[in-house]
């Protein structure tokens, strides 16, 4: 991967972790990076990325959004 992901949004999971959604480039392809960051032991004052997470090709993003909306509808009933 090229460089650090550019953070688009952050969602607090609990007191020790947050989910960061970012954009990153790998082998010339732009990807969405969804990754848990550890807040409990910041390195140089900053949370650090864990291995928990994944990258998704931008063309798959609409499907992920659709799935999340379906989950939201499901829990709202």
The residue with tokens 């732009």 is 30
Nearest to 29 by CA among 59, 50, 65: 59
The mean pLDDT of the chain is 91
Q: 2 pLDDT exceeds 70?
A: no
Question: What are the tens digits of pLDDT across the range 45-72?
Answer: 889 899 999 999 999 999 999 999 999 9
How many CB atoms are closer than 10 A to CB 20?
18
pLDDT of res. 43 = 73
């Amino acid at each position: 991967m090229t460089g650090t992901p550019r953070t688009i949004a952050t969602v607090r999971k609990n007191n020790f972790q947050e989910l960061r959604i970012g954009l990153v480039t790998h082998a010339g392809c732009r990807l969405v990076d969804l990754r848990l960051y550890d807040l409990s032991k910041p390195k140089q004052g900053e949370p650090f990325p864990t291995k928990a997470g994944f990258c998704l090709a931008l063309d798959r993003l609409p499907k992920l959004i659709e799935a999340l909306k379906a989950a939201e509808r499901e829990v709202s009933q």
